Amino acid sequence: MFRFYKVNNKESCIFAKFISLSYNKIMKKFFKILKIALIVLLSIILIPTIYLYISNKLFVGGTKKDTVQYLASHSAVVKDSVDGKVFDEAFYQSQVILLGEIHGFAGNQTLDKNLLTYLHKKLGIKYYIAEMDSTTAKELNTFLRSSPKNLAILKDVVVNISKRIPQQSSQELLEKWDAIYDYNNGLADSMKITVLGIDKGFDDKDRTIPRDSAMFLNFQQYIQQLGLANEKFYGLFGYFHTLQQPVPALATPLATHLKKAGFKTISIVSHTIDSYMYLPKNPQIPTPPDEKIKWANADGPLMVVKGINNLKEASQPNSITLFNINAKNTPYHASQEIISMKSRLFGDNILPAAGTNTTQYFQYVALLRNSEALSKLK
């Protein structure tokens, strides 16, 4: 049985006031805790961000007037073709010329095509060594000699390349080889371009031979089997493979093997500013819906290259500029700028050995500014 008690107005007011005071006290405490939590959360986000920003700025550094002047006087802009004035005698006397790229930027495909056609016309280089296995290279050669042009073969090549280098498999890669086909088609048989795939096969499970060592051995095998000892070679590879000196704690690069074996080797490395990278969807790294990022340029935030601002100052937006960093009075004979690179997400840091200088690793630099990203194969 329930009993009801009458509460007078005075008691009711006291009770309501008590409830109100308790509620206000609880809410004040809640908002105080919430404020502290937000401050902590912002600190967790902002402090590393600020640290990364400052760290990147300090590593990259500013500009040096003398260095900028040197670069400006030893440079050439690549438009529809390559201006050979930037190259010195050592370049033309070399036997192997390598272009090293950070994968995913469309401008590198343009540069690669222009360098190949320039070197073919100037030096008669007709052997293109490639970061692909021999099976893929054989298929690409079949395309280059198909009559009429068989784009189905080329599409198959581009798809196969995605197994090894997803960031390179693209519409622009297809269009580059399509254009090379047209150039090649007008040449005499003795001068036609041939692709030599020197990479390990994708299914090669042999871990006893490092990848770059296998590339070198495959290259040597081509020379012996095809009698190419007196030929010159050109090719596009990932950045690391084109370094002519070992990097501490990392495997020995292909170009280092070549140089140690007595091949006169020239390396050109490519960097980017204000450019977009193609980053295909993958389970390891979050990818934007359009699969394009602008965070992997040489001035950060995900990758930083010491001294890149000098090259930026000596070039123009929306351009590809080639720099000879190995000429007389170059500051790079006594520097580790441009070769020193920190990667916050992609690949390894490239930190040169003590006592070495930049030109021992490579002799030319290409700077791509405002390059588009590669795009999916249509």
207 contacts 139 by C-beta, under 8 angstroms: no
One domain for residues 105 and 43: no
Provide the 10 A C-beta neighbour count for residue 180. 21
One domain for residues 168 and 40: no
Output the pLDDT for position 252.
97
Domain housing 157? 64-369
Q: Which of 43, 60, 77 is the last residue before a domain boundary? A: 60
Q: Which of 45, 60, 75 is the last residue before a domain boundary? A: 60
One domain for residues 177 and 299: yes
One domain for residues 69 and 22: no
The per-residue pLDDT of the chain, averaged, comes to 91
One domain for residues 77 and 53: no
CA–CA–CA angle 9, 14, 18 (5° rounding)? 145
- Stretch 167-185: mean pLDDT: 97
Output the pLDDT for position 2.
45
**% pLDDT > 70, the chain:** 89
* Residue 101 within any structural domain of the chain: yes
**% pLDDT > 90, the chain:** 76
Tens digits of residue pLDDT in 260-286: 999 999 999 999 999 999 999 887 777
Where residue 88 falls among pLDDT bands split at 50, 70, 90?
A: very high
Tens digits of residue pLDDT in 24-79: 677 677 777 777 777 777 666 666 667 667 888 888 999 999 999 999 999 999 99
One domain for residues 245 and 357: yes
Model-level pTM?
0.88
* Residue 4 within any structural domain of the chain: no
Spatial CA neighbour of 90 closest among 266, 324, 345: 266
- Stretch 118-142: mean pLDDT: 97
Total number of domains in the chain: 2
Tens digits of residue pLDDT in 190-224: 999 999 999 998 777 777 899 999 999 999 999 99
Spatial CA neighbour of 172 closest among 116, 114, 105: 105
- Stretch 305-330: mean pLDDT: 98
* Residue 1 within any structural domain of the chain: no
One domain for residues 29 and 127: no
Tens digits of residue pLDDT in 14-26: 555 555 656 667 7
Which three-class secondary structure state does DSSP give residue 330?
coil
Q: Which residues of 12-29 are buried (b: 16+ CB within 10 A; e: fewer)?
A: eeeeeeeeeeeeeeeeee
Residue 283: asked if its preceding bond is cis (omega within 30°), the reply is: no
One domain for residues 51 and 153: no
Amino acid at 213: S
Rounded to whole angstroms, the Cα distance separating 334 from 305 reads 17
Task: Please report, for the domain that includes residue 96, its CATH number.
Answer: 3.40.50
One domain for residues 163 and 37: no
321 contacts 365 by C-beta, under 8 angstroms: no
Here the tokens at position 209 are 């031979």
Tens digits of residue pLDDT in 89-107: 999 999 999 999 999 999 9
Compute φ and ψ for 349, nearest 5 degrees: -65, 145
One domain for residues 90 and 176: yes
181 contacts 173 by C-beta, under 8 angstroms: no
